[in-house]
Amino acid sequence: MDFLTPIREIKGVGEKTEKLYQKTGVYTVGDILLHFPRGYKRFPEVTTLNTVSDPSYEVSEPVAIIGMLKAQAVNRVSKKKMEITVATAFNDEGSFEALWFRMPYMRSNLHTGMPYVFFGNIKKDGNKIKFEMPRIFTPEEYESKKQALESIYRLTKGLSNNSVQKTVKEALTFVSFKNDYLPENIRKERGLIEISDAVHDIHIPSDFEALSMARNRLCYDEFFRFFYFMNKSKKNDIEEENRFKPLDLEIFNSVKKSLPFELTDGQNTALSELLEDFTSDHISERMLQGDVGCGKTMVAILSMLIFVSNGYKTAMMAPTEVLARQHEETFKEYMNEFNLPYTVLCLTGSTPASERKEIKKILASDEPVFLIGTHAIIQKNVDIKDLALAITDEQHRFGVKQRKTIGDKGNNPFTLVMSATPIPRSLAMVLYGGMKISVIKELPKNRLPIKNAVIKTDKRDSAFKFILKELNKGHQAYIICPLIESSEKTESESIEEYKEKLKSFFSPDINIGIMHGRLKDSEKNAVMEEFANGNTSILLSTTVVEVGVNVPNATVMLIENADRFGLSQLHQLRGRVGRGKDQSYCIFMDASKKEEENQRLKVISTSNDGFFVASEDLKLRGPGDFFGIRQSGELSFTIADIYQDAEIMKKANEDVSRLLSSPDFDTEELNDYMSMYDRVTYTNL
């Protein structure tokens, strides 16, 4: 058994379970080892029956209670023909009931006269206490459990955390890593454990210290791979002569002067820096960094126009089809507004074969073109003749290899990557090496600052009333719901259930659209088109709207369970409103009772500045917050955090440079390791 062995080969994984794993992106043994936990928990102290029976006790977290069976558990069949195992447990304070669904073997697993610790969620039924699907331990087993950290994984409906834990243990038993690619002297210098130990301890940590050491090594590993590929590609790069000059700027200057709005100082500076690149002697790369809504797309349009008006092609790659189609419409609107004769093409995964054939024909011709698309434009069979400028939008959504692939199209074009991720310049310089950096800090002058509010769940109706007030003004609203389906382990409602709640509050003439990640691209496009056209008043969505939706008429956003999101993601979501001339609002619903999470929401509600939000986020996160803001998807890293792990990142960058320049370093072993990781990670993309 090796890293590429199908997950089905692991003991206990049948056809049904295999399909569930595939929904989470796990196809191979290597995938399950790289399916890192999303968090960890300790088992609580055993509590008393009197404590949970008290009317003032609020049922929120799982509890542990000791009990003993006087009679054997029984199996029953419910009215819905579901088999239920029922046991009644007693202790000095009284009795409680435990129920298991479709687990008849539990009857023979429980013995009378033996003490057990029942652990799980309880329900109160008058004076009765009921456990549903509790886990059972002997007192000795539970005492041992309390000393360790238990891994909590990302799941899908039908896949339990216990099942993932067992699969991971099996995989760790039968798979061994090759020799560590990192020399022992480097590991000792950096205080890093071996990669095999790190993978084991990230899943099954013996204590907090072991977990911390494992995470540090895996963070280092991710950064090392990132810089390795970056250095490897640069090593093969030869400084290319700029074959696109001289450039005629007449049309560019005319359009820029005729814009119906004034560009900000940041936009003008970025364009000046890009023009300096385009007229220099050599091809170069630049990163355009700017907060959400700062006008990066306008800079992209004008910079692409420079080359298209000179007879060349340009391309922009967006992370989603929704965003690509929106860019297509924006570009076409400007072509019409300024009577520009240039073609705008959009190529995505759902582009029909006949249309795709025609697009490829145009791309192979001499016709100047604005090409917009998703990763479909970097496929091997897509050739772009005379590509002068390649742009990657929302660059943190793409891996370094994807960003490089679009730059390889054509014949050494200029490259521009755009990011709304607020990265301090010092970190950006490390992450993007020799890439030049432009920053847009201010918002367009016609934008009013978003007004923010943090409220508790008991004020939800007040929030709905405020939304109704905005709808009556002719505006639209977003409501963000964090989950698609209800879970037995969370109080969050499914998005469908939430829609029913909205229907009971708002009148039938208010149309409500639904958007989530499980919709097909064509369905997402249809939903967004209805919202963008004003046919839908409220868009109820998961975080899929985080990237690239631009509806100026949407003036209010309500984010349910805002305490569950990272600050960076909240800021990205908030950026969907405040994009028009009208006053906009963002309401953060706080369902938590933890003081730290309230402090984080206080930060997001008191500032609209993404750079400030990111810096405050770093201050608020303690050493126990292992996954930081990387949970919101920053920079393609699985476990590393560019803020929290900035020092590790710098060390990895230094080590890549010195190891690749060392004649004694075994690059073959390193290449084998990197390609193995790549095959595991990208096998099914």
* Burial classification of residue 238, based on how many CB atoms lie within 10 Å of its CB (0-12 exposed, 13-18 middle, 19 or more buried): exposed
Most confident residue range from 273-282, 370-379, 668-677: 273-282
Q: Which of 638, 646, 620 is nearest to 563 (CA)?
A: 620
pLDDT of 636 reads 53
Q: Which homologous superfamily does the CATH classification assign to the domain defined by 251-440? A: P-loop containing nucleotide triphosphate hydrolases (3.40.50.300)
Q: Residue 425: pLDDT band by 50, 70, 90 thresholds?
A: low
Cα separation, 655 vs 163, in Å, equals 38
How many whole angstroms separate alpha carbon 120 and alpha carbon 61?
8
For residue 180, the model assigns a pLDDT of: 83
Give the contacts of 415 (CB within 8 A, at least 6 positions apart). Answer: 284, 285, 286, 389, 390, 391, 392, 403, 406, 407
- The hierarchical CATH code for the domain 451-636 is 3.40.50.300
Cα torsion 225, 228, 233, 236: sign = negative
Say how far apart CA 566 and CA 585 lie, in whole Å: 19
Q: Which H or E run contains 523?
A: helix 521-532
Q: What is the residue extent of each domain of the chain?
A: 49-147, 251-440, 451-636
Q: Do 49-147 and 451-636 fold alike per CATH?
A: no
Share of the chain above pLDDT 70, in %: 85
Q: For residue 624, is pLDDT > 50? A: no
Distance, in Å, from the CA atom of 256 to the CA atom of 308, rounded to the nearest integer, reads: 15
β-pair partners for 392: 317, 417
Domain covering 49-147: architecture:
Beta Barrel (2.40)
Residue 317 burial (CB count, 10 A): 28
Does residue 441 carry a pLDDT above 90?
A: no
pLDDT of residue 218: 92
pLDDT higher than threshold 50 for residue 402: yes
Predicted local distance difference test score (pLDDT) of residue 628: 38
Does residue 525 carry a pLDDT above 80? no
Residue 616 pLDDT greater than 80, yes or no = no
Residue of 426, 420, 148 whose CA lies nearest to 288: 420
Which of 84-88, 90-94, 315-319, 441-445 is least confident? 441-445
Interval 235-294: pLDDT, tens:
556 678 999 989 999 999 999 999 988 999 999 999 999 999 999 999 988 988 887 778
Report pLDDT for 333.
93
Q: What is the reported pLDDT for 3?
A: 83
Q: Is pLDDT larger for residue 304 or for residue 561?
A: 304
According to the model, what pLDDT value does residue 451 have?
A: 96
> Which segment of 41-55, 254-268, 568-582, 596-610 scores lowest on mean pLDDT?
596-610
Per-residue pLDDT reduced to its tens digit, 2-18: 788 899 999 989 999 99
- pLDDT given at position 57: 83
Quick one: average pLDDT of 525-529? 83
Q: Calculate mean pLDDT across residues 44-66.
A: 89
pTM summary value = 0.61
Residue 577 has pLDDT above 60, yes or no: yes
Give the tens place of pLDDT for each residue, 351-362.
Answer: 999 999 999 999
Helix (H), strand (E) at residue 68: strand 63-69
pLDDT at residue 629 in the model: 35
Confidence of residue 479 (pLDDT cuts 50, 70, 90): very high
